[in-house]
Structure 1
Amino acid sequence: MEIAITSQRSVEKLEKVAFILKTLSHPLRLSVVDLLSQHDKLSVNEICQALNSEQSLTSHHLSNMKLKGILNSSREGKNIYYSLKMQEVVKVLACMDNCDAITI
């Protein structure tokens, strides 16, 4: 039996997908990304209101995703607005959403 050698490009792609999946491996983080994929930018308060989540927990997850390069943030007055920086996360979520193995 011959084992195929994975190309460097394939390895890099798999590593990036693994990084995205690890970073988003919490329901609130997945919800935030889904919400931000539908809006250019949202404030922490808007995200909390839309997801019915606590501000401190949501801010913690937003900070983590920003640190990992998934999100951007910008300050406007007293508000901090978040937006998607790594657009590939939307494609990964779309693949998961279209997967027949995941049913609800």
Structure 2
Amino acid sequence: MDNLKVRLDKKRLERAANVLKCVAHPMRISIIDLLEQRKRLTVTQLQQVLEIEQSLLSHHLINMRDKGIVNTHREGKNIYYSLTDTSLTDIIDIINKGKAL
């Protein structure tokens, strides 16, 4: 027990907790999965695949952007969303393999 210690500083622990709270929603996990597949997508593209109202999707995307999970990039009239850190997709891989259940 002498060598046992918390390996993350308080700031990193708080960041991890905030990210995990934010992505702890089936729709947000789906968005992460889709963005892993295509690297960047518009709201319209995401909406077509997810089959949800644009306002609800925008709510999720704004929350994810505010927590630093997704980036936005405007090209003309389109706003593209992409993942800020693709390591988040490791969570989905673990869930798909059944290790987290």
TM range (shorter): 0.7 to 0.9
Aligned partners of 1:75, 1:39: CA distance in 2, in Å?
Answer: 17
Residues 13, 36 of structure 1: alpha-carbon distance in 2 compared, 3 angstrom cutoff: same
Structure 1 gaps, min length 5: none
Map residues 27-46 of structure 1 onto 2, 5 A cutoff. 27-46=26-45
Q: 1:95 to 1:4 in 2, by over 3 A?
A: farther
Number of residue-to-residue matches in the alignment: 101
Shift in Å, 1:41: 0.7
* Superimposed CA distance per residue, residues 40-67 of structure 1 (whole angstroms, 9 cap, x where no aligned partner): 2100000000111110000111011011
The equivalent of 2:92 in structure 1 is 93
> 2: CA distance between counterparts of 1:22 and 1:86?
16
Distance 1:14 1:93, change over 3 A: farther
Decide whether aligned partners of structure 1 residues 10 and 97 sit closer, same or farther in structure 2, where only a CA change above 3 A counts: farther
2:52 partner SS = coil
Alpha-carbon separation, structure 2, partners of 1:100 and 1:13: 24
Which one has the bigger helix percentage? 2
Cα RMSD between the aligned structures?
2.4
Question: Which residue of the partner structure matches residue 48 of structure 1?
Answer: 47
Identical counterparts, % of pairs: 42
TM, length-normalised to structure 2:
0.82
